[in-house]
Amino acid sequence: MKFAPLLLLATVALLIALPWLVSGSMLNAAVQMLIAALFAMAFGLLCGQAGMLSFGHAAYFGVGAFAAVHAMNAFGGAGLLPTPLLPLVGGATGLISGLVAGYFSTKRTGVYFAMITLALAELLHALASHLKAVFGGEAGVSSFRMPAWGIGFGSLTDVYFLTLVWTLLCIGLLYLFSKTPLGRITLGLRENAHRLRFLGYNTHALGTLIFAISAMFAGIAGALQSMNIEAANYVVLESHISTAVVLNSFIGGVRVFLGPAIGGAVMTFFGYVTSDLTRVWLLYQGIIFVLVMMFLPRGLVGELVERLRHRSGQGVARSLGATLLRLLCLAVAAAGAVFLIEFLQRFLSSEYRAGVSEGNWPAISLFSYDWAPLSVLPWAVGLGLFGLGIALVVTVNRRVADRQEAQA
Amino acid sequence: MSDPILSLQHVHKSFGPAHIIRDANLDVLPGERHAVIGPNGAGKSTLFHLCSGQFAPSKGHILLNGREIGGLKPAEVNRRGLARSFQITNIFPGVSVFENLRLAVMRKHNLQFVFWRSAARLRQVNEEVDDLLGKIRLTDRAQTLASQLSYSEQRSLEIGMTLASDPQVILLDEPMAGMSHEETDYTAGLIREITEGRTLLIVEHDMSVVFSLAHRISVLVYGEIIATGTPEDIRGNARVKEAYLGEEAA
């Protein structure tokens, strides 16, 4: 794959040019996407490469976030380190807390490991609301970014570049890590820890160390987050943050190197776009996760890599055509599903029901058209589009299968 | 006669009320190929687990080069120079054959917590891996995922990984289990080659393999070594016949 470095270079160039290409709110979303990407990469090291599914990674993200805020406030607001180096504080705190938590949790594997990480994160979350001095209670802890190295860090563009540099640096380091002896042993830990022990490795120490490294990068991501919003609140320790990073990483593909990053970025972007458009955007996020797990269990990037690896020499254009056709049909089905979900959401909302008086069902406005809920039309449109899309996909699949059979 | 390299002295192992190993005594001499045979349930695998650190003995001593290894952790036993293979194939299925062997070789070079060097540039390690690949005749399968190897290839890989730490003593637990005749012959040849200059302790059910491969044989029955000797001695031993071979002949 000669074009991989080129693609990478183009992506980095695009990321550098982004502040001049997109609006302020989109740039803000881009900062969030970068942070989510880095956080997911930290999780991916532990889950995808070392095979340890953590359900409590919010803890290390949050610890990094709070550490960075306190470091910014240190010395009467002068800061412990110059602003560009503050993520190091988050990383160091993440590393240390990861060593402690990793020591205990990696004593067990599988479900038990996951449960310990979950318990530790919940413990921290429960403690945080009581430790006002450290976590600031309901209000949280706020701070200000100080100018450093001739950079103001007041503008969003400055913050964007700070986040971009750190994210790229960390992802680069994670890539290099995967090429080192320890990085290779990480895979062995996932594949067969028992065998590693009989080869003479100390698997508990290895697991603890990899857990700590993962927590360190999560801490850096947390620090970037609190530096971005100039505050930290114990909400960052909540379990939905832990869940989101699991879902994002699996949607992207937890076993391929950039999978978690792409998953984190894509889903954050998805949330940014849809949370303004619809109230049930979390439902859509859940549906996407279920669909990806059912039909693309390797994740979006994982599946792409697999396809590229096993592409047949002659049929590239054809299979690309079939894929596009499938996507088109799926878009029809998705339109139907979205229509139904949105219509139902409005129909079932308490506002609507409050407006219903005896025998009088007001029309529901959706997609700049008023639909009468008791008529067949809106239901027919939704179900029809959905059914049509699915039927088309099935037809395309059958055609492709027939053609392959004819070739073989 | 030289001192034994591996010595079991009055070893007992019980799991609750079940006494699996009762007073086992065994001396394995440097450089010999030593087979342990015995009926099903005699405790052969348990004996291996005791020697390799999977279990700690309830009583008695296990000495490697005169030093106690009974009760040490598997990783520590491996570092002292004893490596084992497993009855059920125990490899790293999701990574390449090359990677499997490299994981095994890196430990020997004490590359465990190293994150500042590139694994691809470890010349000594990679050369040793290539060398091992040649020895177990898997050179052209180096980049294949271990899970995609055939059964006997996986068994070869298993033996290769056991060999990687350059151990003095190798324990092979039923390396021919589930193999066809051709595969068994092939693997027997392989074992002969790779154990040159090392000490081998092997558990195997295939009697033709055992009698042609082993210098000496020990017979384990109900957790006790009832006889040790050359293949001829064992063939002629009345107690063994009664307890084990006779049972099969009948």
| B26-49 residue pLDDT tens | 888 888 999 998 888 788 888 888
User: How close, in Å, is residue B56 to chain A by CA atoms?
Assistant: 15
In a domain? residue A146: yes
pLDDT band at B244 (very low <50, low <70, confident <90, very high): low
Comparison of pLDDT for A234 and A319, the residue scoring more: A234
CB contact under 8 A, B114 and A182: yes
Alpha helices by DSSP H, B136-230:
151-164, 181-194, 207-213
Decide if B104 contacts B95 (C-beta within 8 A). Answer: no
Q: How far apart are CA A403 and CA B106, in angstroms?
A: 49
Mean pLDDT, rounded, for B145-174 = 86
pLDDT band at A315 (very low <50, low <70, confident <90, very high): low
Least confident range of A26-40, A54-68, B94-108: B94-108
Decide if A93 contacts A59 (C-beta within 8 A). Answer: no
Q: Which amino acid is at A260?
A: P
pLDDT band at A92 (very low <50, low <70, confident <90, very high): very high
In a domain? residue A209: yes
Domain count, chain A: 2
Decide if B152 contacts B183 (C-beta within 8 A). Answer: yes
A47 and A184 part of one domain:
yes
Identify the pLDDT of residue B246: 54
Identify the pLDDT of residue A89: 93
Phi, psi (rounded to 5 degrees) for B30? -60, 135
- Percent of residues, chain A, with pLDDT higher than 90: 36
Half-sphere exposure (Cβ direction) of A371: Cα atoms closer than 13 Å: 22
CB contact under 8 A, B119 and A179: yes
Q: Which amino acid is at A280?
A: V
Comparison of pLDDT for A393 and A220, the residue scoring more: A220
As a whole number of angstroms, the longest Cα–Cα distance in chain B is: 63
In a domain? residue B156: yes
Q: How many CB pairs lie under 8 A apart between chains A and B? A: 96
> Is the pLDDT reported for residue A118 higher than 70?
yes
Q: How far apart are CA A39 and CA A247, in angstroms?
A: 12
- Percent of residues, chain B, with pLDDT higher than 90: 3
Number of other CB atoms surrounding residue B111 within 10 Å: 20
Sort out which chain A residues have CB atoms less than 8 A from B106's CB and list them. Answer: 181, 184-185
For CA atoms B143, B147, B153, B154, the dihedral sign is: positive
Residue B72: which CATH number?
3.40.50.300
Identify the pLDDT of residue A206: 92
Q: pLDDT tens digit string along B148-162?
A: 888 888 888 888 888
Average pLDDT of every residue of chain B:
85
Most confident of A253-262, B152-161, B174-183: A253-262
> Is the pLDDT reported for residue A374 higher than 80?
no
In a domain? residue B39: yes
Identify the pLDDT of residue A161: 93
CB contact under 8 A, A182 and B83: no
Decide if B167 contacts B198 (C-beta within 8 A). Answer: yes
Domain count, chain B: 1
Q: Which amino acid is at B204?
A: E
Q: Can you give the length of chain B in residues?
A: 250
**Lookup result for tokens 């979205």:** A338
A325 and A238 part of one domain:
no
| Residue among B167, B186, B165 nearest B176 (CA) | B186
pLDDT band at B250 (very low <50, low <70, confident <90, very high): very low
User: How close, in Å, is residue A400 to chain B by CA atoms?
Assistant: 28
Identify the pLDDT of residue A263: 93
Q: Phi-psi region for residue A36, left (φ > 0), alpha (ψ -120 to 50) or beta? A: alpha
Residues in Cβ contact with A337 at an 8 Å cutoff, skipping those fewer than 6 apart: A287, A382, A386
A192 and A322 part of one domain:
no
CB contact under 8 A, B75 and A198: yes
Q: How far apart are CA A11 and CA A3, in angstroms?
A: 12
Most confident of A2-16, A89-103, A107-121: A89-103
Q: Indicate the SS3 state at residue B133.
A: helix
- Percent of residues, chain A, with pLDDT higher than 70: 97
Identify the pLDDT of residue A268: 93
Mean pLDDT, rounded, for B159-183 = 85
A interface test, pick of B103, B106, B169 with most A CB neighbours within 10 Å:
B103
Q: How far apart are CA A65 and CA A141, in angstroms?
A: 10
Q: How far apart are CA B62 and CA A103, in angstroms?
A: 31
Alpha helices by DSSP H, A199-258:
203-229, 239-252
Going by their DSSP bridges, the two strands B18-28 and B6-15 should be labelled as antiparallel
In a domain? residue B1: no
Tokens for A20, please give them: 């001049």
Average pLDDT of every residue of chain A:
87
Task: Provide the domain limits for residue B117.
Answer: 6-249
> Is the pLDDT reported for residue A354 higher than 80?
no
Identify the pLDDT of residue B247: 54
In a domain? residue A118: yes
Comparison of pLDDT for A213 and A401, the residue scoring more: A213
> Is the pLDDT reported for residue A65 higher than 80?
yes
In a domain? residue A216: yes
Identify the pLDDT of residue A311: 67
In a domain? residue B68: yes
Cα angle A315, A9, A20 (rounded to 5 degrees) comes to 115
A230 and A321 part of one domain:
no
In a domain? residue A287: no
A179: nearest CB among B78, B113, B118? B118
Mean pLDDT, rounded, for A129-153 = 82
pLDDT band at A44 (very low <50, low <70, confident <90, very high): very high
Q: How far apart are CA B231 and CA B204, in angstroms?
A: 14
Q: pLDDT tens digit string along A194-209?
A: 888 888 888 899 999 9
- CA torsion B5-B6-B9-B13 (nearest 10°) is 170
Decide if A53 contacts A186 (C-beta within 8 A). Answer: no
B interface test, pick of A191, A204, A214 with most B CB neighbours within 10 Å:
A191
In a domain? residue A75: yes
Decide if B175 contacts B162 (C-beta within 8 A). Answer: no
* B198: DSSP letter: S
R_g of chain B computed on alpha carbons: 18
* β strands within A204-362, DSSP E: 231-232
Q: Indicate the SS3 state at residue B137.
A: coil
In a domain? residue A227: yes
A341 and A238 part of one domain:
no
Task: Provide the domain limits for residue A96.
Answer: 18-242
Sort out which chain A residues have CB atoms less than 8 A from B123's CB and list them. Answer: none
In a domain? residue B171: yes
Least confident range of A22-26, A31-35, A312-316: A312-316
Identify the pLDDT of residue B1: 52
CB contact under 8 A, B92 and A195: yes
Decide if A61 contacts A240 (C-beta within 8 A). Answer: no
> Is the pLDDT reported for residue A317 higher than 70?
no
Mean pLDDT, rounded, for A100-128 = 90
Alpha helices by DSSP H, A78-180:
87-105, 110-128, 132-135, 156-178
In a domain? residue A185: yes
A67 and A214 part of one domain:
yes
The domain boundary, picked from A221, A242, A263, lies at A242
Half-sphere exposure (Cβ direction) of A121: Cα atoms closer than 13 Å: 26
Comparison of pLDDT for B106 and B177, the residue scoring more: B106
Sort out which chain A residues have CB atoms less than 8 A from B107's CB and list them. Answer: 199-201
CB contact under 8 A, B112 and A190: no
Q: pLDDT tens digit string along B94-143?
A: 889 998 999 888 888 878 888 888 887 888 888 888 888 888 888 888 88
Tokens for B96, please give them: 């390449």
Q: What is the DSSP string of A137-153?
A: GGG-EE--PPPBTTB--
